[in-house]
């Protein structure tokens, strides 16, 4: 238990948002959209409330929603052709990651975590008896395959990947998955691939799932999120892909933790998938990224790499302060300059400082404009 208590990075996420409220600051710290969901989703949820959809769905999930997931993924530009026994409806991505780890880890197994990474990864590994092994990306945030190779040992049981990546916005391409397979093909190493920002791949880049790789697919738990797709995180419905044998392992453990997910929401999401146009969502978010980046370019902040995907942009703040840590800078910016962000070190378990902070552009355009015009005038 003490090992879990030692993970405190979640406090950055709650603290910065609370500071923003306390000091009346523009809050660009969290990836929680401040704009409304599609009105049609509301309508479908109201319809579900009037139906007999208030009891447990099956362990795998609402069969109509499963069928819609199959159709939706087949229509991607990089098509995923799925079968029903490869799909599990889950309450959320964090649940899927935790239960996937529970399905494959034995006491003392090592799990490689590529940092910066979301704060739940390492605690989930420890709670399942595993040992986190951290691989820190260099400042270009690209994979150095030789260094990653050195992290792999005979105790390695799994690797956690996130693409599009929070917080860097990096996207794994087909060649990245090929490189990874070459590193692990001779060992029993599982892959947990969190692909929850798959709708948000910008410019000419298309999402390329780990589940498309013919060999990696056989050892992969691949996680997606309706909450991120449709800005409905409070509905608590996501889905996971895995080959049949891993789906069986997963569902065996799932039934003892949370048998199913929100039943009325599953009905509403199934209806919405019939009419959802992913290009509209992508274009809206790309316009927000471009708006944010154009405006922050008029401040001393420096964008070294434009986010390829996700809803976050990392910026270098050293033109503003050479001496403050990224935590100190984030608090100063929130309290004194009235714009909230997150320190990049909040996404590491192995370092306490960096030259970067993370902003979210999953906000109303007027908030982005007001926040960055304010910084332009006050930095």
**Does residue 25 form part of some domain?**
yes
* Mean pLDDT, residues 324-346 taken together: 96
Which pLDDT score, from 0 to 100, does residue 97 have?
97
Domain identity same for 257 and 284:
no
Which pLDDT score, from 0 to 100, does residue 7 have?
67
**Does residue 47 form part of some domain?**
no
Domain identity same for 291 and 231:
no
250, 100 contact by CB (below 8 A): yes
Q: In the predicted model, is pLDDT for residue 164 greater than 90?
A: yes
Q: In the predicted model, is pLDDT for residue 296 greater than 70?
A: yes
Which pLDDT score, from 0 to 100, does residue 1 have?
47
Which pLDDT score, from 0 to 100, does residue 8 have?
59
How many whole angstroms separate alpha carbon 293 and alpha carbon 299? Answer: 10
How many whole angstroms separate alpha carbon 221 and alpha carbon 194? Answer: 8
Domain identity same for 251 and 323:
no
Domain identity same for 62 and 168:
yes
Domain identity same for 267 and 296:
no
* Mean pLDDT, residues 169-187 taken together: 97
* Mean pLDDT, residues 7-13 taken together: 65
How many whole angstroms separate alpha carbon 298 and alpha carbon 300? Answer: 7
Q: How many domains does the chain have?
A: 2
**Does residue 71 form part of some domain?**
yes
Q: How many CB atoms lie within 10 A of CB 362?
A: 24
pLDDT digits (tens, 9 = 90+) for 218-264: 999 999 999 999 999 999 999 999 999 999 999 999 999 988 899 99
How many whole angstroms separate alpha carbon 276 and alpha carbon 68? Answer: 11
Chain CA centroid to CA 200, Å:
11
Q: What is the CATH number of the domain that holds 251?
A: 3.40.640.10
* Mean pLDDT, residues 132-157 taken together: 95
* Mean pLDDT score of the chain: 94
Domain identity same for 309 and 239:
no
pLDDT digits (tens, 9 = 90+) for 94-136: 999 999 999 999 999 999 999 999 999 999 999 999 999 999 9
Of the residues 227, 251, 273, the one at which a domain ends: 273
0.85 surpassed by pTM = yes
Domain identity same for 258 and 338:
no
Q: What is the CATH number of the domain that holds 336?
A: 3.90.1150.10
Tokens of 188: 């029993």
Q: In the predicted model, is pLDDT for residue 2 greater than 60?
A: no
Domain identity same for 250 and 104:
yes
Domain identity same for 127 and 246:
yes
Domain identity same for 65 and 156:
yes
Residue 330's domain comprises 2-30+278-378
Which pLDDT score, from 0 to 100, does residue 9 have?
56
pLDDT digits (tens, 9 = 90+) for 20-51: 999 999 999 998 899 999 999 999 999 999 98
Of the residues 245, 273, 301, the one at which a domain ends: 273
Closest alpha carbon to 312 in 326, 292, 298, 297: 292
Domain identity same for 86 and 195:
yes
Backbone angles phi, psi at 180, to 5 degrees: -60, -45
Helix (H) or strand (E) holding 67: helix 63-74
Of the residues 224, 248, 273, the one at which a domain ends: 273
Closest alpha carbon to 206 in 171, 239, 241, 180: 171
């Amino acid at each position: 238990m003490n090992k879990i208590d030692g993970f405190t990075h979640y406090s950055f996420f709650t603290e910065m948002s609370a500071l923003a409220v306390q000091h009346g600051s523009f809050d660009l710290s969290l990836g929680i959209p401040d704009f409304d969901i599609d009105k049609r989703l509301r309508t479908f949820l109201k319809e579900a409330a009037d139906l007999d959809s208030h009891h447990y769905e099956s362990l795998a999930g609402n069969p109509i929603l499963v069928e819609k997931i199959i159709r939706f993924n087949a229509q991607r530009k990089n098509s995923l052709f799925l079968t029903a026994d490869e799909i599990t409806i889950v309450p959320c991505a964090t649940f899927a990651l935790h239960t996937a780890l529970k399905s494959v880890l034995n006491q003392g197994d090592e799990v490689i975590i590529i940092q910066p990474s979301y704060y739940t990864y390492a605690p989930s590994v420890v709670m399942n008896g595993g040992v986190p092994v951290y691989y820190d990306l260099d400042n270009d945030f690209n994979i150095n395959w030789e260094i990653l190779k050195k992290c792999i040992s005979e105790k390695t049981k799994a690797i956690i990947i996130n693409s599009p990546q929070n917080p860097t916005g990096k996207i794994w391409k087909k060649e990245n998955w090929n490189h990874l397979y070459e590193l692990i093909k001779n060992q029993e190493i599982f892959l947990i691939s969190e692909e929850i920002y798959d709708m948000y791949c910008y410019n000419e880049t298309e999402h390329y799932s780990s589940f498309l790789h013919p060999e990696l697919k056989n050892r992969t738990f691949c996680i997606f999120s309706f909450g991120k797709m449709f800005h409905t995180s409070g509905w608590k419905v996501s889905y996971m892909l895995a080959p049949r044998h891993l789906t069986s392992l997963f569902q065996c453990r799932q039934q003892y933790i949370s048998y199913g997910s929100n039943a009325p929401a599953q009905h509403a999401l199934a209806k919405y998938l019939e009419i959802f146009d992913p290009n509209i969502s992508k274009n809206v978010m790309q316009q927000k990224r471009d708006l944010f980046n154009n405006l922050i370019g008029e401040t001393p902040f420096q964008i070294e790499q434009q986010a390829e995907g996700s809803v976050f942009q990392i910026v270098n703040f050293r033109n503003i302060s050479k001496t403050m840590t990224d935590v100190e800078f984030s608090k100063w910016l929130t309290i004194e300059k009235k714009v909230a962000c997150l320190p990049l070190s909040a996404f590491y378990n192995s370092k306490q400082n960096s030259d970067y902070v993370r902003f979210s552009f999953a906000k109303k355009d007027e908030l982005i404009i007001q926040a960055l015009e304010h910084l332009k005038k006050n930095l």
